[in-house]
Amino acid sequence: MRIGLKKKKTTSGAASKLLAMAKKLSSKPTILFIFVSFMLFCAFLPVFAPLPSFSSHHSHRNTVNRKFEIANDRFWKDGEPFQIIGGDVHYFRVHPEYWEDRLLKAKALGLNTIQTYVPWNLHEPAPGKLVFEGFANIEAFLNLCHKHGLLVMIRPGPYICGEWDWGGFPGWFYSMNPTPKPRSSDPTYLQLVERWWGNLLPKFVPLLYENGGPIIMVQIENEYGSYGDDKEYLHHLITLARGHLGHDVILYTTDGGTRETLEKGTIRGDTIFSAVDFGTGEDPWPIFKLQKEFNAPGKSPPLSAEFYTGWLTHWGEKNAQTDADFTAAALEKILQKNGSAVLYMAHGGTNFGFYNGANTGVDEADYKPDLTSYDYDAPIRESGDVDNSKFNAIRRVIARYSSVPLPSIPSNNEKARYGPIHLQREAFVFDMFDFTNSTNVFKSETPMSMEYVGQLFGFVLYVTEYKAKRGGRILFIPKLHDRAQVFISCPSEESGARPTYIGTIERWLNNKVTLPDIKCHSKINLFILVENMGRVNYGSFIFDRKGILSSVYLDKEQVKGWKMFPIPLHNLNEMSTYNPITQVAYSAFSGISSFRKKLIYKNGNTSKEPAFYSGHFLIDKSSQVKDTFISFNNWGKGIVFVNDFNIGRYWPLRGPQCNLYVPAPLLKQGDNFLVILELESPDPELVVHTVDEPDFTCGSSGTSLHQL
């Protein structure tokens, strides 16, 4: 095997001659760029904005004689042939204090390149509000890659897929008029892209390889051939990227390894490099042969830009796994003939907050939301563990083709059990609202989407009233995204009219609910708590508004007169102005609570009414602050916050994920606070347990593992 490495090398003189013959000079762009400002509820001019001719890259001219390029169907780094052995590590799925840990483990796996997406919605959570701190500090992540000698392939989209909410597009698109049409030549959409990339891409200029940084390639769009074939759109993105980044950096597309996807998703010739992706069960070399047809002669080094080490898992499915030795052997088929590959994923991480994506099956109602865990059965596990058969098998293969000795393997991060955490109910969700005199309410004859009421993630409560009818009534919502719990109450009752749980409507079942006949001297209150479980991120049904998106019917009669109450639970890397989680956590241990004054119905621990629960656990010494998992066995469905950080959704009743990962940097010496929003069925004992390992055996689906 080592003999093959020698064949790759040439003298630098020979390499220079070869490259000189293969290169083509490109001219500088001269098209004028016009920035067009915009406001959230304003219409955009229905014309294409001219493309840029930025000169920002000129101030970072190559003064270090570094060059990464393509010639003779090979990658070349500083005049020497180079084989990309890379892996995806997404900075936004890893706590920033663990970025270095995961990169060192990726390097120990044998990787020389890191690939990462850039999710637009994380960096621009509201129009014009740009965030590049915390989990969104992409420049810090790229500098860490550079520090450890790892090259970077960056994927700024604007569409990323990635099992991330709406493929990275901001949910506030749906609040605009006109609504942008993503992944197209729609002028409104392109103006937004130009604005976003105008803020993002200049950050990459000093980090380009030619300027002394780690970035060797920049992807345009992502798997576009699986969605559309608008070549004008792709050319627009290419021109825009060249205007910011110059003509030396390699731009690339990635598409599935079929003729149809490549025909639709890339551009033939040397305008852009066409890469492919495929799984472990496919023969790579016929796909690489097809890839060559879409690149200019001599410009098609075989590259699988997504070589799948595992697969994603949806709620209700068996946990996906791929065999370690089979995966490693498939990788070797690529490397042994000087092919390049990027492992997807090298390290999956976690869908913290509300950012998990979703998929669909035969239609948009066949909705499949992703787990909080994005472990992906990757060689570096969700918690950073590397002591597993897949890591070792892949490392053994890579070691045979690496041009340098591999670093020693770091140890797994230590885990801790902090014992059981006892909780108490602090507030019913419905007690957060004054339904008769609330300022935080939207009123409309028909239901409004979540995006229109400014609640992009989480929950919105829809409230109306109706007349009782002997024998009960049938509730039907033709278009619901994604899951609704239905409650009724009689406001004239002396009991205070606690809402009574009636049933749950789920998008994928499109089921109806029967409202019972109750005696009430006034109209009956109807409460529908709707959860956004993640926007579809892939396929033809990615246009995925949330909330109640149609009229609501009782016995085929349209219900009118609605109030919409946003529920302000903060997402990853953001804090809301009004934060009930902080208030609940603080009040639970200070004895002061505006919520508690309302809680006169606290008898009994179990209730179908959604409520906040709080607890705490003590860590005596700083040396005891370690990774842990929280087990939600015996709980129903909900969201959990640790020290005011949204660690994600749990749903052990559906499975397969039982435990949520808690990175040590979220914890602290002393008291650590836990707040749970349980939607339907809390543990009767009101206790959760901290454990030291993941568990994917919950629900009827989780009893056995799914081998791909």
Element (H, E) at 238: helix 231-245
Task: Enumerate long-range contacts of 595-598, CB under 8 Å, 24 or more apart.
Answer: 595/426, 595/427, 595/431, 595/432, 596/426, 596/427, 598/427, 598/431
Joined together, the tokens standing for residue 474 give 């049938």
Count CA within 13 A, CB hemisphere, residue 677: 24
To the query of whether residue 426 is one of the catalytic residues in this protein, the response is no
Please check whether residue 270 is in contact with residue 247, taking contact to mean a CB–CB distance below 8 angstroms.
no
- Residue 300: name the closest of 70, 7, 21 by CA: 70
Q: Tell me the residue ranges of DSSP E strands in 568-622.
A: 611-619
Catalytic residue selected from 124, 163, 223, 609: 223
Q: What angle do CA 309, 313, 314 make, to 5 degrees?
A: 160
CB burial of residue 297 (10 Å; 0-12, 13-18, 19+): exposed
Catalytic residue selected from 306, 317, 382, 451: 306
Q: Tell me the residue ranges of DSSP E strands in 490-622.
A: 500-506, 513-515, 524-532, 547-548, 552-554, 557-559, 562-567, 611-619
CA distance 701 to 206: 48
Q: Tell me the residue ranges of DSSP E strands in 44-126.
A: 68-71, 74-77, 80-82, 85-89, 113-117
Q: What are phi and psi of 403, to 5 degrees?
A: -80, -10
CA distance 363 to 277: 25
Contacts of 227 (CB under 8 A, 6+ apart): 183, 265, 539, 540, 542
- Residue 105: name the closest of 395, 533, 362 by CA: 395
CA distance 355 to 374: 11
3-class secondary structure, 304: strand
CB atoms within 10 A of CB 77: 17
To the query of whether residue 306 is one of the catalytic residues in this protein, the response is yes
Q: What are phi and psi of 545, to 5 degrees?
A: -65, 165
* Distances, alpha carbon 72 to alpha carbons 12, 16, 81, 271, 380, in Å: 15, 12, 10, 17, 34
* Distances, alpha carbon 520 to alpha carbons 436, 462, 471, 489, 527, in Å: 19, 21, 14, 9, 16
Angle between helices 324-335 and 389-399 (to 10 degrees): 20
Q: How many residues does the chain have?
A: 708
Please check whether residue 658 is in contact with residue 616, taking contact to mean a CB–CB distance below 8 angstroms.
no
Q: Say which residue the tokens 């709707």 belong to.
A: 530
Joined together, the tokens standing for residue 60 give 């970072």
CA distance 488 to 499: 5
3-class secondary structure, 91: helix
Residues classed as catalytic? 223, 306
